[in-house]
């Protein structure tokens, strides 16, 4: 069959890709009459479903198409509650019953460790949430050139979908964000245009401690809040103070760089303090606008509890916390070991970790701002070999050099906390030649309705 532009066709979803979209293959004939494969990416579909789509430029080998009608429906398909779901890029799986999402994540973790030669039976069922909505304590919204506030369109970072609600952010956070959006319209302020690099407002960061209730609002703009903008900023301070007394930090953050990131060259405190307090595991943390902190506090607490259970820390032991951040794992472990050293390349995070330890009366810690591999060398020289090592690397993983350095340092037990099962699997493969055995992998769902899944794993040195 020769396919023409705009022709409707039926596609059967074989599997989901790494971004959570359905994949399908349709065979067609080329100009010589030979079979030619067309690979389709179809979002908001589930494996086994048959959907009707329209393909543009079908002469290409790969295309993306939107599902126009689901002809054969997956048993776990459900109605997405968010009115923005079909266009907004914040979620990809609101159309999938939550239990189905969890099963898929478990299977994915099993698949990636099996590919590295590990036993898939070591992977436990993914721990989900009792209430998988409004779970995020931090969101970064984007301003469109006309000043509208929202999130990027699925697969299109040039377009912003204006939002009236958000089903993954905390409810009070959404209300505060909508107040900022109303202020922008009232003041007739412009958003930043990524193509022309013109306009004022770039992003709105909202973070809230679910433990203390404190909220931080950070407005990223291309100019300082001076001149005419000073009056607009004063109006925002008044509006927020009247409606949101829980906002304890209101920041204006100047960013003139072209890179589309929530970074700041100069910061201006409009109201309150430049940080908010949060709590986890019974410890208090100070969070600045650029502080990394787990964005799902309910599930993050489970990560900490699992890490402690697997690591089985003892008061007679020394411990290294690699990629320690602001001390999320360091503080609860420090009260259970004799001595703890934290290593993190981001200097501001290390300063925060030191301050957080002091605020909580913890004095058996030392924190080093250094690259992971060089940091391990320095800590081992000053500290000696630890009995316990925990690492919580970024999505890119720790890497072979770091993992081999860990292996050579011979800790008795290694607890690996991962936000990327693929890099986790390749990382732990590096430990096998050093005599380590993988004991258990526990997936934890920190990001319902997305493809992401975290893991906590234990590896033990063979005696």
Domain boundaries, the chain: 8-72, 102-130+282-461, 138-277
Which of 436, 434, 441, 428 is CA-nearest to residue 461?
436
Tokens 């009070």 — which residue?
Answer: 172
Q: How far apart are CA 369 and CA 353, in angstroms?
A: 10
For 154, the token pair is 């699925």
Q: Do domains 8-72 and 138-277 have the same CATH topology?
A: yes
- Tokens representing 15? 């599997």
* Helical spans, DSSP H, in 225-361: 228-243, 297-311, 330-334, 347-359
Task: Phi first, then psi: give them for residue 159, nearest 5 degrees.
Answer: -120, 135
**Contact in structure between 362 and 339 (CB atoms under 8 Å):** no
- Residues 19 and 61 sit within 8 Å (Cβ to Cβ): no
The rounded distance, in Å, linking the Cα atoms of 347 and 325 is: 9
Known catalytic residues?
419
Contact assessment for residue 55 and residue 7, using Cβ atoms and an 8 Å cutoff:
yes
Query: 3-state SS of 363-426?
Result: CCEEEEECCHHHHHHHHHHHHCCCCEEEECCCCCCCCHHHHHHHHHHCCCEEEEEECCHHHHHH
Sign of the Cα torsion 436, 441, 447, 452 reads positive
Which CATH number, 2.40.50.1070, 3.30.300.180, 2.40.50.100, 3.30.460.80, labels domain 138-277?
Answer: 2.40.50.1070
Neighbours of 401 (CB within 10 A): 11
Identify the burial level of 128 via C-beta atoms within 10 angstroms of its C-beta, where 0-12 means exposed, 13-18 middle and 19 or more buried: middle
CA distance 259 to 232: 26
Q: Are 441 and 455 in contact (CB under 8 A)?
A: yes
Per the structure block, which two tokens stand in for 275? 């940080």
8-72: which CATH number, 3.40.50.2300, 2.60.34.10, 3.40.630.30, 2.40.50.140?
A: 2.40.50.140
Question: Tokens at residue 206, please?
Answer: 């909202």
CA distance 206 to 370: 29
**Pairing relationship of beta strands 283-287 and 276-280 according to DSSP bridges:** antiparallel
Given a contact cutoff of 8 angstroms between Cβ atoms, the answer to whether 207 and 143 are in contact is no
* H helices present in 196-282, as ranges: 228-243
Radius of gyration of the chain (CA): 24
Taking the C-alpha atoms of residue 306 and residue 364, their distance in angstroms, rounded to an integer, is 22
In CATH, 102-130+282-461 is 3.40.50.150: yes
Return the pLDDT at 28.
Answer: 79
d(CA 457, CA 447): 19
Per-position pLDDT tens, the chain of length 463: 444 556 788 999 999 999 999 999 998 777 777 788 899 999 999 999 999 999 887 677 888 999 999 999 999 999 999 999 999 989 999 999 999 999 999 999 999 999 999 999 999 999 999 999 999 999 999 999 999 999 998 878 789 999 999 999 999 999 999 999 999 999 999 999 988 999 999 999 999 999 999 999 999 999 999 998 999 999 999 999 999 999 999 999 999 887 777 777 899 999 999 999 999 999 999 999 999 899 999 999 999 999 999 999 999 999 999 999 999 999 999 999 999 999 999 999 999 999 999 999 999 999 999 999 999 999 999 989 999 999 999 999 999 999 999 999 999 999 999 999 999 999 999 999 999 999 999 999 999 999 999 999 999 999 8
Residue 23: other Cβ atoms inside 10 A: 16
Q: Which residues of 302-341 are buried (b: 16+ CB within 10 A; e: fewer)?
A: bbbebbbebbebeeebbbbbbbbbbbbbbbbbbbbbebbb
H/E run at residue 405: helix 400-409
- The pairing of strands 156-162 and 35-42 is unpaired
Between CA 179 and CA 177 the distance in angstroms is: 5
**Rounded to an integer, what is the distance from CA 209 to the centroid of its chain?**
17
Q: Which of 398, 448, 389 is nearest to 420 (CA)?
A: 398
Distance, CA of 54 to CA of 9 (rounded, Å): 6
């Amino acid at each position: 069959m020769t396919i023409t532009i705009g022709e409707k066709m039926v596609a059967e979803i074989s599997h989901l890709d790494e971004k959570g979209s359905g994949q399908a293959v349709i065979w067609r004939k080329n100009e010589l009459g030979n079979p030619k494969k067309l690979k389709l990416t179809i979002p908001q579909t589930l494996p086994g479903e048959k959907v009707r789509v329209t393909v543009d430029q079908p002469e290409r080998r790969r295309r993306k198409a939107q599902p126009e009608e689901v002809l054969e429906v997956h048993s776990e398909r459900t109605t997405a509650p968010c009115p923005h779901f079909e266009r907004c890029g914040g979620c990809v799986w609101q159309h999938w019953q939550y239990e189905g999402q969890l099963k898929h994540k478990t299977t994915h973790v099993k698949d990636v460790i099996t590919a590295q030669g590990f036993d898939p039976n070591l992977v436990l069922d993914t721990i989900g949430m009792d209430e998988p909505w409004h779970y995020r304590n931090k969101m970064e919204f984007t301003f469109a050139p006309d000043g509208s506030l929202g999130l990027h369109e699925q697969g299109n970072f040039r377009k912003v979908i204006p939002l009236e609600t958000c089903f993954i952010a905390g409810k009070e956070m959404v209300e505060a964000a909508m107040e900022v959006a109303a202020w922008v319209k009232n003041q007739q302020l412009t958003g930043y245009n990524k193509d022309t690099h013109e306009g004022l407002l770039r992003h709105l960061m909202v973070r809230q401690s679910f433990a203390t209730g404190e909220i931080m609002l950070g407005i990223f703009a291309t100019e300082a809040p001076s001149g005419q903008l000073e009056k607009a900023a004063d109006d925002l301070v008044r509006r927020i103070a009247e409606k949101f007394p829980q906002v304890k930090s209101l920041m204006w953050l100047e960013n003139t760089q072209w890179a589309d990131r929530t970074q700041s060259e100069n910061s201006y405190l409009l109201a309150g303090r430049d940080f908010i307090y949060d709590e986890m595991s019974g410890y208090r943390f100070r969070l600045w606008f650029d502080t990394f902190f787990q964005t799902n506090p309910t599930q993050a607490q489970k990560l900490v509890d699992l890490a402690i259970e697997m690591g089985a820390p003892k008061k007679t032991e020394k411990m290294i916390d690699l990629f320690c951040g602001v001390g999320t794992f360091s503080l609860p472990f420090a009260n259970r070991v004799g001595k703890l050293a934290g290593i993190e390349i981001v200097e501001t995070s290390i300063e925060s970790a030191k301050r957080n330890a002091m605020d909580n009366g913890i004095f058996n810690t030392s924190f080093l701002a250094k690259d992971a591999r060089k940091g391990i060398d320095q800590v081992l020289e000053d500290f000696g070999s630890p009995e316990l090592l925990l690492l919580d690397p970024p999505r890119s993983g720790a890497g072979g050099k770091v993992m081999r350095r860990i292996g050579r340092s011979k800790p008795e037990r290694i607890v690996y906390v991962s936000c990327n099962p693929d890099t986790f699997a390749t990382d732990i493969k590096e430990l096998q030649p050093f005599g380590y055995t993988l004991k258990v992998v526990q997936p934890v769902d920190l990001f319902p309705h997305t493809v992401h899944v975290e893991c906590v794993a234990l590896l033990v040195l063979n005696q």
